[in-house]
Amino acid sequence: MRMNQFSNPWVELKESLRDQALASGFDVAGFAAPRPPPRGEYLADWLARGWHGGMSWMERRPESRIDPASLMAGTGVILVLGVNQRPPSRPEALATYACHADYHDLLTRGVQDIGVWLTEKVGHPVAMRVCVDSAPLMEKPLAVAAGLGWQGKNALLATRGFGCWLMLAELLIDLPLPPDAPDGGHCGDCDACLGACPTDALREPYRLDASRCLAYWSVESKGAIPHAMREAMGIRVFGCDACLAACPWNRFAPVVRRAEFLPRPELSGAAWGTWATLDETGFARLFGDTPVRRLGRIRFLRNVAVALGHADPPERLDLLAGLLAHASPLVRGHAAWSLGRIARLATQACDLLRARESVEGDDTVLAEIRQARTFTPPV
């Protein structure tokens, strides 16, 4: 690199790197010092309360989450990057990030390209590590430390220019580039996100109880979804954008500019009910390159079964009848619950439950059927 005698070479390199990141498709880029980020001290209390639910992996190496420098020896700075994903309209059944190719793959490639550019720029190898939700890193607090925004009362990153719609990635760099100044909070007295949560998972401002979050139950949970959560899910099949979408700062966010992050019509429209008929081949063809793939078809159909209990008739009865006869007890049990919910309005649902009870061999499913036949809507 050529620097004049009056310049600070690290500042110039930092700004060149930021310019390159923005030119390569990222919407924001900031630099954080490799030290514990804001609110990192709350992690231990969050774990102690059990607010991580069944995500036991959150308990491993908590010191690494608090101290990002422990992830790579010699880390001098952390480049935090964001891509806007605000859709033109809200998808019906999937969280926005699930309606296009997996952002983990797309952002990883983009960060790797920036790493290649940086190596060429400085003219010698530089130790780096790419992180896209793939390391014990508190990425939202780091984004705050990098000056990209603040952690909102919904526990998400909130920004002036993009609301809560940024997907984040990080690049740990073994160079002493100067960090940016953090931004202060701008939630004020607003609590729109807290009121928007359908399960009161935001029990305290800025802190999420994942064990009550619909995104947790529809994406992370391995077994049966509690009945109270099923009632709150509505037609959410994967994830929940309620607290994200409620943030007033979103009104400043432009629509996503990168085509690969636009919601696909087949994933964001109203035809989600037909997903109940997907076999393994169809599931892989439709969701194979999206975040939904990691759910697997059985848990996916579990969620579809719950959503069908909230959908409009008459198509749902035929679809639920198919799921009630599925090979997986997990799918059958959730289909039974939905039929019980519908039985208040349709005698055919009662008939389906009665017929299945006579041949069902799984005790867990039998219990779901018997409870469904006496279903009482919550007050």
DSSP 260: G
Looking at residue 269, its pLDDT comes to: 86
Q: What is the pLDDT along the chain (379 residues), one digit of tens a residue?
A: 444 444 689 999 999 999 999 999 999 999 999 998 887 777 888 888 888 888 887 877 777 788 899 999 999 999 999 999 999 999 999 999 999 999 999 999 999 999 999 999 999 999 999 999 888 889 999 999 999 999 999 999 999 999 999 999 999 999 999 999 998 889 999 999 999 999 999 989 999 999 999 999 999 999 999 999 999 999 999 999 999 999 999 999 999 999 999 999 999 988 899 999 999 999 999 999 999 999 999 999 999 999 999 987 656 899 999 999 999 999 999 999 999 999 877 889 999 999 999 999 999 999 999 999 987 666 4
- Alpha-carbon separation of residue 17 from 24, 69, 140, 178 (angstroms): 10, 20, 21, 12
Report how far residue 16's alpha carbon sits from residue 121's, in angstroms, rounded to the nearest whole number.
9
**CA 128 distance to own-chain centroid:** 26
Q: Nearest Cα to 31, choosing from 90, 94, 76, 86?
A: 76
Residues classed as catalytic: 133
Looking at residue 360, its pLDDT comes to: 97
Q: Cβ(53)–Cβ(130) under 8 Å?
A: no
Q: Nearest Cα to 183, choosing from 210, 211, 162?
A: 162
